[in-house]
Amino acid sequence: MELTFRWFGERDPVTLAHVRQIPGVVGVVSALHDVAPGVEWPRDALERLADRVDAAGLRLSVVESIPVHEDIKLGLPTRDRWIDAYCRSVEHLGAVGIPVLCYNFMPVFDWTRTALDRALPDGSTTLAYDHAALARIDLSRGTGALPGWGAAYDAEQLGALLAAYREVSAERLWEHLAHFLERVVPVAESAGVRLALHPDDPPWPVFGLPRIITDVAALRRLVALVDRPANGVTFCTGSLGALPENDLPALARELGARGRIHFVHGRNVRVTGDRQFHETPHPSRYGDVDLFAVLRALHDTGFAGPLRPDHGRMIWGETGRPGYGLHDRALGATYLYGLWEAISRTT
Ligand code: DNO
């Protein structure tokens, strides 16, 4: 296992110097954050990013993420042009020596929460989701008010996208994913890049949009779509853990044994009701994810890829990018590193 940490580039209040001081962390997970979705990533910009990370005494282990253009997910006639651009970006990753690409196939919205500052009894704040609260979010003015991630749409763009997706059932979205993977997986394989599809977060439809990468059956179906080693997953314990029926250790064992887990996001959640959860500190006892059992399953299957602590709470008065402060993620990293050491030394 290679312990890594997400870094959002020069504008991130968490610096590479901070990351370098977290025990056990050797790799960085990052991206080019100023390229428009769909556009080919310039190789020289990737080289500069990798050099910057090297100069800090770390390595660029994973790109998270290259966004998949909505035309690809919608299956529009223009999609093959965007897929070509995606393939060129994947080739550039390979040329620069970045071995893993984390991406997602969620229509319009990436990870979604209904609160970014839910207070926990210990005085920290965390990210929370409640499906009933989601239904009350007004999208008529675009995504401006929505928490959490990069893409933003004004009212007109969002209205057009939501209307276009009315034609796309879950099965159609699967077909569009297959079309994408049939073209990108062979390119990734030749370039020496492993594709790691991130599960949908949360793992159910939001705002009437289909979401398909949600559970054990979906992940099995995904790896079978194009049955090649380069077609794998990001095993995100927090996303998958929001659905109580997902047996995470068993799934880690199954996909790990097949060599299809290319990246791991370690995070914990407490499920508080139907489609309702909040994020917790990483250690197993605080949430519903048994991270010890997941890591043991990964270890048993010989997992040697990158793992990063996922979202942290805001603690010790820190302010910053929701889910991506320094302190609690660093505690998470140390916890995951400690679990891995204990498992390694006792098996
Ligand atoms: C959230 C992240 C996601 C992830 C993308 C991958 O914190 O895990 O935004 O980066 O879904 O494409």
Q: Do 311 and 330 meet the contact criterion of CB atoms below 8 Å apart?
A: no
For the chain, which domains are there?
2-138+170-346 (3.20.20.150)
Cα 347 to ligand 1 centre (Å): 32
Cα 198 to ligand 1 centre (Å): 7
Q: Which of 4, 100, 102 to mutate to test the pocket of ligand 1 (most atoms within 8 A of CB)?
A: 102
Residue 159 has, within 13 A of its CA and on its CB side, a CA count of: 5
pLDDT at residue 144, rounded to an integer: 64
Cα separation, 114 vs 132, whole angstroms: 9
pLDDT at residue 150, rounded to an integer: 55
pLDDT at residue 140, rounded to an integer: 82
Backbone angles phi, psi at 186, to 5 degrees: -60, -35
Averages of pLDDT over each 10 residues, the chain, 347 residues: 97 97 98 93 98 98 96 98 98 98 96 94 97 89 63 84 95 98 98 98 95 97 98 98 97 98 98 98 98 98 98 96 96 98 95
Count of residues in the chain: 347
What pTM value is reported for the model? 0.97
pLDDT at residue 146, rounded to an integer: 61
Q: Do 249 and 296 meet the contact criterion of CB atoms below 8 Å apart?
A: yes
Backbone angles phi, psi at 322, to 5 degrees: -50, 130
pLDDT at residue 153, rounded to an integer: 84
Strand partners, 264: 235, 307
| Maximum CA extent, the chain | 58
User: Which residues are catalytically annotated?
Assistant: 198, 236, 265, 310-311, 324
Within 6 A (CB) of ligand 1 lie: 64-65, 102-104, 110-111, 149, 198, 265, 311, 323
DSSP of 88-138: HHHHHHHHHT--EEEE---SS--S--SEEEEEPTTS-EEEEEEHHHHHT--
pLDDT at residue 139, rounded to an integer: 84
Q: Which of 33, 65, 267 to mutate to test the pocket of ligand 1 (most atoms within 8 A of CB)?
A: 65
